[in-house]
Amino acid sequence: MKDRAPALYNLTLAEIEALLREWRQPAYRARQIYRQLYVNLAASPREMSDLPAALRERLTKEVLFSTLQFERTQSGDGGMTRKALFRVEDGPPVESVLMIYRDRATVCVSTQSGCAMGCSFCASGRMGFRLNLTAGQMIEQVLWAARETRTILASDRTLLTNVVYMGMGEPFNNYDRWWASVERLHDPEGFNFGARHFTVSTVGIVPGIRRLAKEKLPVNLAVSLHAPDDELRSRLVPVNKKYPVAVLMEAVRDYTEATGRRVSFEYVLLQGVNDQPGRALGLARLLKRGPGLALCHVNLIPWNPVPGEPLKPSERRRVLDFQDVLRERHVPCTLRTQRGLDIAAACGQLAGDAKKT
Ligand code: SAH
């Protein structure tokens, strides 16, 4: 029976209401369940103490709760970074990273197991594509992080402040499910997470950017650029052959004009590959070309090592010089802080347990 059972985290409130109507339960029960899931963060029907025992039992028997199997967490940065490893049905790995700072807590969520984009410098890309996650499986990662922050910070409130879709996978290759997870987590009747506290990062899937420009919720967009010219970008980010720099920039420009929102460009710094002053100049020119992108920001990311990959991170001096070139040309730019290096949880290091995938 459970084979065809609905997965609770894939259902909207309206869908839970429909299910309970079928079960001939009073309408308010659906809302109770929904609040248990998204406000109390109940992880099983057992914890839903305001429901009658018979209903809890029926939920246990006839719907699926978690469809991500929790395997383990690892703790780094003195306990302020946690990486969780889940599996989908004993197989494909899914990793999520919670980062706690003094004034905020961010969870980095995977949208796929593995990734089909094949960027050579990224562990998820090297792992290849395994599967698309459901909206419920993305939501479960966020709820895991919300529970963790409550425990770590010993609070009964949810102290998670940011959700970034920057884990394994390419969100815009799984757009519908990804967006369903944003809408659900945003729902004021439930988790009530502010739209501006979500960020999605794309490798540069142009139709996804154009679609996002039309959505109602103002989530943040980050674009993985990594090189200002087609020749180099196509080597680092193979999908550039399909959506070259000029086409990508046009979509980003249209996006900022349509939404009035700022876009971040991510730029991983690789020693001797894309970190020369000439590239920084090329990047500044690209962002200032024509009318210029008034609403943009560059996020420089020191490259995090990936096993078996001979690339090297740029030296500190090179990074600072790169930053100077951008700043002199009035391109706002910041350096991403490194988190999770000690537990292979930093940007681009998520590949599950390589031995067991
Ligand atoms: N597929 C999406 C989401 C991944 S976000 C995207 O490409 O944007 C992860 C960010 O970390 C991307 O900008 C990615 O290019 C970058 N990244 C990948 N591997 C990295 C590594 N080894 N070190 C630092 N950043 C890396």
Domains by residue range for the chain, with CATH = 8-62 (1.10.150.530), 69-356 (3.20.20.70)
Active-site position among 95, 140, 170, 266: 95
Q: Which residues have CB under 6 Å of ligand 1?
A: 117, 119, 121-122, 166, 170, 201-203, 224, 266, 268, 301, 303-304, 306, 347-348
Q: How much of the chain exceeds pLDDT 90, in percent?
A: 87
Q: Report how far ligand 1's centroid is from the alpha carbon of 342 (Å).
A: 17
DSSP state of 27: T
- What are the pLDDT digits (tens) for 205-242? 999 999 999 999 999 999 999 999 999 999 999 999 99
- For residue 1, the model assigns a pLDDT of 46
- For residue 338, the model assigns a pLDDT of 87
Q: Is the pLDDT of residue 356 over 50?
A: no
Q: Report how far ligand 1's centroid is from the alpha carbon of 40 (Å).
A: 33
- For residue 141, the model assigns a pLDDT of 98
Q: CB pairs under 8 A, 24+ apart, for 247-253?
A: 247/206, 248/204, 248/206, 248/209, 248/223, 249/286, 249/289, 249/293, 251/206, 251/209, 251/210, 252/209, 252/223, 252/293, 252/296, 253/293
Q: Which three-class secondary structure state does DSSP give residue 149?
A: helix
22 is a catalytic site residue: no
CB distance 228 to 286 below 8 Å: yes
